[in-house]
Amino acid sequence: MKRPNDLSNYWMPFTANRAFKEAPRFLESADGMYYRTSDGRQILDATSGLWCCNAGHNNPRIVSAIQEQAGRLDYAPPFQLAHEAAFELSSRLTAMAPAGFSQIFYSNSGSEAVDTALKIALGYHRVRGEGSRTRLIGRERGYHGVGFGGTSVGGIVGNRKMFGHLLAGVDHIRHTYQPTLGRFIKGMPEHGADLADDLQRLVDLHDASTIAAIIVEPIACSTGVLIPPQGYLERLREIATKHGILLIFDEVITAFGRVGAPFASTRFGVTPDIITIAKGVTNGAVPMGGALVRSEIYEAIVGATAKGGIEFAHGYTYSAHPLACAAALATLDVYEEHKLFERSRSLEPLWQEALHRLRDKRHVTDLRSFGLIGAIELESREGKPGARGYEFFLRCFEKNVLVRNTGDIVALSPPLIIEEEQIDHIMTVASDVLEEMA
Ligand code: PLP
């Protein structure tokens, strides 16, 4: 294996650093559905990179938009100055969003999008004279990135335990996975809408006057693909509205065609107050995130400051970075021209059937799917949680297919350009690995 450098200085994120550096995996280039490794292998990408390259890799239109932009305007300060593409992109993104959304606040990542959304929620209540609403509610097994806000409302113990008390006052509702009531469910479970009543329970415990917002992923992806029960999101919306609590959908993964629609909010027909995005907005090619916000929230916050004053003390050096805006505009063109959201929707039944072929394979305890997302849950080895999932990932990589494991759950989320034979190939490799693996 060609080693470009000493490997010891790069502290890799969410990586088994020592194991990786003993047997590294280098990606060198990419095209369409495939990565190419430094040892010359073509790897079929069943994870869209990290849930982000929805239009496949190195799309020529996106590549040339970034190149062209880099040669014209490399950087523009976003505080008290702007460039045109930032406004064009904002118009296009808000036009795609559910009715009532008129604003987007840009960040550089999903984590920052989440922290931005939480701050907007706190600011909104404060300017309306409800400054006692400071409590943020998350959900067990939620993943909202790695900022202190996102980690606090997040519900994955491994991501939280090292970092002290996190934000004060945060509470969590229960997650929605109930395997004792059913496994191998295709699509949305029929049971579990009542779990949304946990929000009412927290209102009864803390009082609505202390609660600013609740944040959930419409589908909890990073924790292992938990599909919302039928009626659950509607009920959450209802309870939040009843008590004046803002509902934030974290759509960092579920937006931009992953579930066959611009947003999961659109697909599920449930409209939150703030939607966070990242990943697919630029097809992963340049970092970008954002919080889409309903008009009345923006109006309340900007209206609270006299004209000429800065209304919201928040922002990033790289908010609406010109390269990110160029990448995003080109990405939206590609999604539209190739009808990729519709394509994702039309592939969904086939994807689901192909995934469920693994039902009787060794080690498989559950399969879940929605949109072009799939999860294979494996039985944990005794005393070694995560070991089987990690081995599954390594073995698939050896067989030239990229999957992602979180513990013993394997998540699949291919680019929306995937072909039928490639779906078939992913499941065949998965099936072979399950047979071979102890
Ligand atoms: N929110 C959700 C739902 C995510 O899935 C992720 C990343 O996977 C994030 C936030 C964090 O995004 P980033 O890694 O860009 O900070």
Quote the CA–CA distance of 401 and 419 in Å, as a whole number.
Answer: 14
**Considering only CA atoms, which of 354, 366, 359, 370 is closest in space to residue 426?**
354
Quote the CA–CA distance of 322 and 334 in Å, as a whole number.
Answer: 18
Whether residue 128 is contained in a domain is answered as yes
251 C-alpha vs ligand 1 centroid, how far in Å?
Answer: 9
Question: Which atom of ligand 1 has the smallest separation from the CA of 278?
Answer: 15
> By alpha-carbon position, which residue is closest to atom 12 of ligand 1?
110
Between CA 288 and CA 359, with CA 175 as vertex, the angle to 5 degrees is: 90
pLDDT digits (tens, 9 = 90+) for 49-59: 999 999 999 99
Region 3-14 average pLDDT: 85
CB-based contact 139:175 (threshold 8 Å): yes
Quote the CA–CA distance of 249 and 216 in Å, as a whole number.
Answer: 5
Is pLDDT above 60 for 410?
yes
Region 7-23 average pLDDT: 95
Region 386-397 average pLDDT: 98
Of 280, 311, 337, at which residue does a domain stop?
A: 337
Is pLDDT above 60 for 309?
yes
Of 321, 337, 353, at which residue does a domain stop?
A: 337
Site to substitute for ligand 1 among 53, 108, 118, 222, most atoms within 8 A of C-beta:
222
324 and 383 fall within a common domain: no
**Considering only CA atoms, which of 421, 321, 358, 385 is closest in space to residue 112?**
321
Is pLDDT above 60 for 3?
no
Q: For residue 101, what is the enclosing H or E element?
A: strand 101-107
Looking at every residue in the chain, the average pLDDT score rounds to: 97
Is pLDDT above 60 for 1?
no
167 and 240 fall within a common domain: yes
Site to substitute for ligand 1 among 279, 286, 406, most atoms within 8 A of C-beta:
279
Is pTM beyond 0.85? Reply is: yes
CB-based contact 423:45 (threshold 8 Å): no
CB-based contact 177:195 (threshold 8 Å): no
Residue ranges making up the domain that contains 146: 64-337
Is pLDDT above 90 for 5?
no
Quote the CA–CA distance of 227 and 232 in Å, as a whole number.
Answer: 10
Region 180-194 average pLDDT: 97
Of 283, 310, 337, at which residue does a domain stop?
A: 337
**CATH number (domain holding residue 359):** 3.90.1150.10
pLDDT digits (tens, 9 = 90+) for 93-111: 999 999 999 999 999 999 9
Whether residue 201 is contained in a domain is answered as yes
42 and 168 fall within a common domain: no
pLDDT band at 6 (very low <50, low <70, confident <90, very high): confident
C-alpha count within 13 angstroms, C-beta hemisphere, residue 280: 31
109 and 230 fall within a common domain: yes
Question: Which atom of ligand 1 has the smallest separation from the CA of 253?
Answer: 5
CB-based contact 211:200 (threshold 8 Å): no
Q: If you ran DSSP here, which 8-state letter would residue 361 be given?
A: S
Is pLDDT above 70 for 397?
yes
CB-based contact 253:47 (threshold 8 Å): no
Q: Write the DSSP assignment of 215-237 as a string of letters.
A: EE-SSB-TTT-BPPPTTHHHHHH
Region 405-420 average pLDDT: 98
144 C-alpha vs ligand 1 centroid, how far in Å?
Answer: 6
143 C-alpha vs ligand 1 centroid, how far in Å?
Answer: 7
At position 77, the amino acid (one-letter code) is P
Q: Write the DSSP assignment of 133-185 as a string of letters.
A: --EEEEETT----SSHHHHHH---HHHHTTSTT-STT-EEE-----GGG-SS-
Residue 80 backbone phi and psi in degrees, to 5 = 65, 10
